[in-house]
């Protein structure tokens, strides 16, 4: 088993996996096998007897990432590890310890913060619009994860929200907290605060947690907030076996309280910590990595990614300019259509952008060419009515003897719900429903030999619980935030214009630097081919400063040419002539 945990690792990965004791910081660049290192390290610790699975806490930031971690550990023969998000781990402890501490069941969780804020606003005579309420909800989240009181928040954010000055924002936050307490509710951030509060105030609770967990692993450590860091320190106590993994260049949630200093200063805070740098990239072509490295050169904590493959990809990165946004969407859609016609699976193609508002134009342009697309971050697969209906119908069919083979039975059930052998025209609800049912059929076709209909429906329900969604056979559209942690062979990164990337409200150096990291995340999602584009638009936008920072030299060295200006609606490439701006200040 230990040999299996160590198989296929490169030298640096193996160093991280075999370092089982004491503090360890793994600086893991994009595409360097971060999740593989985390799970193989835990498996190696269990295999060698250094760890007991029930004594290991592995935390990350999304339920999907936690589910993937559990799945990989199971594949390595390890069960019983507490692989959870920060919130899931905290909520489990709150629910477990609250009756003992408070003599009552734990409060329920607020299901809609904006709606509760609206009720609080009514109570104090305010009538903010929905957008303002959403912004105030974000401010509440930032305040709590930054561990600030309402008075401290007012001093830190004196500008107010929308048309509400800071005094009104403070009044609304106080009213929200009062209403929440009256209704005996906790919001998402309260769960972390309540857990930390119990651990700090109740020695028996703290002792119980310290007895349970001895070994800690934290994924995406660049994204921890002050509150999450405080909770981790309480969980850990004086335990020294802690491994943190992250990449400062992928810090894209500072606006929500993430603080990469915890990663960058980990070695200083733990003088005996071992530092392992993972810089061999197994995802991207060398030309793509050259662009990524140049964009982040000189930034704090930046890693120098090197390709694991010697061979070059089929195409160098390119930059294309368009006259307006519609032309850019049409140009990208046409490029996607050409790839699909050449035999590329739509699932291997992604179009990435900064803001959700950029997706409708893309959806229309792709639909005009008969190409189905899925917008990442939309409805979850197993929440789609067509999927819920299919799972229920398959469950019902599983109680009767099969009159045909397993695959045929699944196909027959789906046909009874409207599934056809050929897809309908792309670009509507009917096509979305067809793609969902087709994904269910593919899951059945990929099931092990001998699978029964009941076993298949059990598997579908297990996938729904763990958010293990199948990949639809569609082109993926995603914001840069939603794309983090994912990868595709072919990536189109559009909207590389001032006002879009960086976004118009990124006015400080720190905000602009976060936009740079977003661009870096987008670039490093690409495996074989990266195309970048921008459009002048109605307001005569300029190309993004990030294109100037990458520079024509880098693109030419990759065999590409950057664009110097928009010339026609179909778009075209030209040699970049802009000079590099000074990186030391905001532009």
Class of domain 286-378+475-557: alpha beta
Q: Residue 32 annotated as binding?
A: yes
Q: Residue 48 annotated as binding?
A: no
Q: Are the folds of 110-183 and 286-378+475-557 the same? A: no
Record the tokens describing residue 245, joined without a space. 């993994």
> What is the secondary structure of 456-518 as a DSSP string?
HHHHHHHHHHHT-PPPPSSEEEEEHHHHTT--EEEEEE---BTBBTTBTT--SHHHHHHHHHH
Q: Locate the domains of the chain by residue range.
A: 2-90+192-278, 110-183, 286-378+475-557, 381-466
Task: For the chain, state the CA radius of gyration.
Answer: 25
CA dist 560 → 500, 551, 584 (Å): 23, 11, 27
Handedness of CA 252, 258, 260, 263 (dihedral sign): negative
- What pLDDT score does 64 carry? 82
**Whole-number Å distance between alpha carbons of 406 and 576:** 58
- What pLDDT score does 382 carry? 81
- What pLDDT score does 580 carry? 37
Coil vs helix vs strand at 374: strand
- pTM for the model stands at 0.83
Contact 250, 517 (CB under 8 A): yes
- What pLDDT score does 562 carry? 31
pLDDT one digit per residue (tens) for the chain, 587 residues: 457 788 889 999 999 999 999 999 999 999 999 999 999 999 999 999 999 999 999 999 888 888 889 989 988 889 999 999 999 999 999 999 999 888 888 999 998 999 999 999 999 999 888 888 989 999 999 999 999 999 999 999 988 888 889 999 999 999 999 999 999 999 999 999 999 999 999 999 999 999 999 999 999 999 999 999 999 999 999 999 999 999 999 999 998 899 999 999 999 999 999 999 999 999 999 999 999 999 999 999 999 999 997 776 678 899 999 999 999 999 999 999 999 999 999 999 999 999 888 888 898 899 888 888 888 876 677 888 888 889 899 988 888 877 778 888 899 999 998 888 887 766 566 777 888 888 899 888 888 888 888 889 888 888 887 667 777 788 999 999 999 989 999 999 999 999 999 988 888 899 999 999 999 999 999 999 999 999 988 778 899 999 988 875 556 554 433 333 333 333 444 333 333 333 333 33
Residues 6+ apart with CB under 8 A from 53: 46, 78, 79, 80, 81
- What pLDDT score does 373 carry? 86
Angle at alpha carbon of residue 387, lines to 382 and 388, rounded to 5°? 80
2-90+192-278 belongs to CATH 3.40.50.300: yes
Q: Residue 578 annotated as binding?
A: no
Q: Residue 331 annotated as binding?
A: no
- What pLDDT score does 144 carry? 95
Helices vs. strands in the chain: H and E counts, helices first: 24, 16
Helices (H), 246-376: 261-264, 266-269, 286-296, 325-341, 359-368
Record the tokens describing residue 126, joined without a space. 């305010």
Q: Residue 34 annotated as binding?
A: yes
- What pLDDT score does 160 carry? 87
Handedness of CA 437, 438, 439, 443 (dihedral sign): positive
Contact 189, 227 (CB under 8 A): yes
- The whole-angstrom distance between residue 187's C-alpha and the CA centroid of its chain comes to 22
Q: Residue 28 annotated as binding?
A: yes
Contact 257, 192 (CB under 8 A): no
The number of C-alpha atoms within 13 Å of 4 and in the hemisphere containing its C-beta is 13
CATH number, span 110-183? 1.10.10
- What pLDDT score does 507 carry? 86
Q: Residue 30 annotated as binding?
A: yes
Q: Token pair 């003897």 is at which residue?
A: 401
Helices (H), 183-271: 188-201, 203-212, 226-236, 261-264, 266-269
Residues 6+ apart with CB under 8 A from 532: 317, 318, 319, 320, 492, 493, 494, 496, 547
The number of C-alpha atoms within 13 Å of 495 and in the hemisphere containing its C-beta is 24
Q: Residue 527 annotated as binding?
A: no
């Amino acid at each position: 088993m230990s040999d299996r945990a160590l198989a296929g690792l490169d030298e640096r990965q193996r160093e991280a996996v075999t370092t089982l004791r004491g503090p360890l910081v793994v600086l893991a660049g994009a595409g360097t096998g971060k999740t593989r290192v985390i799970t193989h390290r835990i498996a190696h610790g269990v295999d060698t007897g250094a760890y007991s699975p029930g004594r290991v806490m592995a935390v990350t930031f999304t339920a999907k990432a936690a589910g993937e971690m559990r799945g990989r550990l199971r594949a390595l023969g390890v069960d019983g590890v507490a692989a959870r998000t920060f919130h899931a781990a905290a909520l489990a402890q709150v629910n477990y310890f609250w009756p003992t501490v408070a003599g009552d069941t734990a409060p329920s969780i607020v299901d809609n913060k904006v709606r509760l804020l609206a009720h609080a606003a009514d109570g104090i005579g305010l009538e903010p619009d929905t957008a303002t309420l959403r912004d105030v909800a974000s401010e509440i989240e930032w305040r709590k994860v930054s561990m600030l009181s309402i008075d401290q928040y007012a001093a830190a954010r004196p500008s107010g929200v929308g048309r509400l000055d800071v005094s009104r924002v403070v009044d609304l936050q106080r009213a929200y907290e009062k209403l929440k307490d009256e209704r005996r509710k906790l919001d998402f951030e309260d769960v972390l605060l309540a857990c930390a509060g119990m651990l700090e105030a109740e020695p028996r609770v703290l002792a119980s947690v310290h007895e349970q967990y001895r070994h800690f692993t934290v994924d995406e450590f660049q994204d921890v907030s002050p509150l999450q860091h405080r909770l981790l320190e309480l969980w850990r106590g004086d335990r020294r076996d802690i491994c943190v993994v992250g990449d400062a260049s992928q810090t894209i949630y500072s606006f929500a309280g993430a603080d990469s200093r915890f990663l960058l200063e980990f070695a200083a805070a733990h003088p005996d910590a071992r530092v392992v740098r993972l810089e061999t990239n197994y995802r991207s072509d060398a030309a793509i990595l050259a662009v990524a490295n140049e964009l982040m050169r000189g930034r704090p904590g930046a890693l120098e990614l090197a390709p694991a493959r010697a061979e070059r990809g089929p195409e160098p990165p390119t930059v294309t300019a368009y006259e307006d946004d519609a032309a850019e969407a049409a140009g990208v859609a046409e490029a996607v259509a050409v790839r699909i016609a050449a035999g590329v699976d739509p699932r291997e193609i992604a179009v990435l952008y900064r803001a959700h508002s950029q997706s409708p134009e893309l959806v229309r342009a792709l639909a005009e060419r008969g190409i189905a697309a899925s917008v990442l971050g939309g409805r979850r697969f197993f929440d789609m009515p067509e999927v819920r209906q299919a799972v229920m119908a398959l469950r019902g069919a599983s109680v009767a003897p099969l009159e045909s083979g397993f695959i045929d039975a699944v196909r027959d059930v789906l046909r009874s719900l409207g599934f056809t052998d050929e897809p309908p025209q792309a670009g509507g609800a009917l096509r979305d429903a067809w793609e969902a049912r087709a994904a269910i059929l593919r899951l059945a076709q990929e099931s092990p030999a001998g699978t029964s209909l009941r076993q298949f429906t059990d598997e579908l329900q297990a996938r729904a619980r763990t958010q293990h969604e199948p990949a639809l056979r569609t082109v993926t559209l995603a914001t840069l935030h939603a794309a983090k942690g994912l990868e595709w062979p072919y990536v189109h990164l559009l909207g590389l214009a001032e006002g879009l990337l960086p976004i118009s409200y990124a006015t400080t150096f720190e905000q602009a630097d976060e936009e740079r990291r977003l661009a870096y995340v987008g670039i490093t999602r690409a495996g074989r081919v990266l195309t970048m584009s921008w459009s002048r638009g109605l307001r005569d936008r300029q190309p993004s400063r990030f294109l100037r920072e990458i520079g024509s030299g880098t693109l030419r060295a990759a065999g590409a040419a950057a664009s110097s200006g928009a010339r026609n609606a179909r778009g075209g490439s030209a040699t970049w002539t802009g000079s590099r701006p000074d990186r030391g200040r905001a532009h």
